[in-house]
Amino acid sequence: MLMERHQVNCISFDELGDIRQLPIWVALMVLTTLEETRATEAVRYLLAKSQQVTP
């Protein structure tokens, strides 16, 4: 019996780069790992960005 091998890559959120370059759904996950001072700034940015996205 042959089984397909699936490769799983684990990365940490800090390896994803600038939160402003990420899709909103990924940026929200990264947001949970930021220090409070950076998180406040990031939240403001993500709120503004989410209001620009058309449904």
Tell me: the pLDDT tens digits for 3-35?
566 777 778 877 888 899 999 989 999 998 899
| Residue 38 is assigned to a structural domain of this protein | yes
Q: Which DSSP letter does residue 22 get?
A: S
pTM above 0.85, yes or no: no
Instruction: Give yes or no for residue 2 having a pLDDT over 60.
Output: no
| Residue 5 is assigned to a structural domain of this protein | no
| Residue 36 is assigned to a structural domain of this protein | yes
| Residue 2 is assigned to a structural domain of this protein | no
| Residue 40 is assigned to a structural domain of this protein | yes
3-state helix, strand, coil in the chain (%, to 5): 55, 0, 45
Give the list of residues 6+ apart from residue 42 with CB closer than 8 angstroms, or none.
19, 27, 30, 31, 34
Residue-range definition of the domain harbouring residue 27: 13-52
pLDDT of residue 40: 94
Q: Read off the pLDDT of each residue in 33-46 and give the average, rounded to a whole number.
A: 92
| Residue 45 is assigned to a structural domain of this protein | yes
Number of structural domains (the chain) is 1
Confidence class for position 47, pLDDT limits 50, 70, 90:
very high
| Residue 7 is assigned to a structural domain of this protein | no
